[in-house]
Amino acid sequence: MKLKAFLHGRLFLWGMHMNILAVGAHPDDLEILCGGTLIRYHIEGHSITMGSVCNGNKGHRTLPGDKLAKIRLAEAQNSARIIHAQHFCLNIPDCEVYVNREAMEKVLNLIRQAKPDIIITHSPNDYMPDHRVVSELVFQASFHATLPLYNAEQPPHDKITPVLYMDTLAGVDFNPTMYVDITDVFEQKLAMLRCHKSQRDWLDDHDAIDMDEFMTAVARFRGLQCSKKYAEGFRSLDVWGRNRTQRLLP
């Protein structure tokens, strides 16, 4: 680790340790869209919880769904282990997640357990319906989680948490307002992504996508926009109660 990053990390530890909660729709979304940023949070000494609302049970041509969900859970756990993150899966089947009370309360209880200072999730305009639903669920749940009279299973969270939106897939219709330099951690991001072997095969098979090449192109493009080699882009949920004066990203 570089000295500057090390010192920066220690400063954060002394004064501003944060709990980071990253919520994706499927088991590999976070690695693709914000993996480098999560690695940098880890280097800076913050605590990270990452995982998926859906169990990934439809991302294959031939494997049965329940078997695939187990494989994908193990893949995601292996990836999370690289940055010592807590991992969760809310275990809703792919393409069966909707904005309803049951799903919202699952996310709400997760937020109350993780006690985040920041939540990272999908942009409301991303390409896949599950991603959009998860974005809305996080918006609702992160507000309701603070209400003492809502659902007593977990005690209320003490703050309306800032929400940062990850890039959309391939950056379509997404203009970042904040960037994170991931040049120094790019190989680790690839290593996390490579834990999701079943999806690398599936994307190659179903969409003719080489995952490494795809992700490298997006990171390089975002890097060009902020004068770095590789970067990830973000926007914030810009409504009352969510803004902070300090930068929340690494």
The verdict on 122 binding Zn ion (CB under 5 A) reads: no
Which residues ranging from 6 to 25 are in contact with Zn ion (CB under 5 A)? 25
At closest approach, how far in Å is the CB of 244 from Zn ion? 28
* Chain residues 128-187 in contact with Zn ion, contact rule CB under 5 A: none
Q: Kindly state the smallest distance separating residue 25's Cβ from Zn ion, in Å.
A: 4
Provide, rounded to whole angstroms, the least separation between the CB of residue 9 and Zn ion: 30
Largest CA distance in the chain: 50
Could you say whether residue 50 binds Zn ion (CB under 5 A)?
A: no
Cβ-based nearer residue to Zn ion, 218 or 248 = 218
Cα dihedral 167→161→144→95 (10° resolution): 20
Q: Return the residue matching tokens 């219709």.
A: 173
Minimum CB separation from Zn ion for residue 132, in Å?
11
Q: Which of residues 29-48 bind Zn ion (CB under 5 A)?
A: 29
Q: Is 228 exposed, middle or buried (0-12, 13-18, 19+ CB in 10 A)?
A: middle
Please identify the residue of the shown chain whose CB is closest to the bound Zn ion: 26
Nearest CB to Zn ion, comparing residues 29 and 232: 29
Strand partners of residue 118: 20
3-state helix, strand, coil in the chain (%, to 5): 45, 15, 40
Task: Please tell me the number of Cα atoms within 13 Å of 92 on its side-chain side.
Answer: 25
* Minimal distance, residue 72 CB to Zn ion, in Å: 11
Helix, strand, or coil (residue 213): helix
Number of residues that bind Zn ion (CB under 5 A): 3
Would you say 78 or 146 has its CB closer to Zn ion? 78
* Cα-Cα end-to-end distance for the chain: 15
> Which of 9, 20, 26, 120 lies at the binding interface for Zn ion (CB under 5 A)?
26
Residues found near Zn ion in the complex (CB under 5 A):
25-26, 29
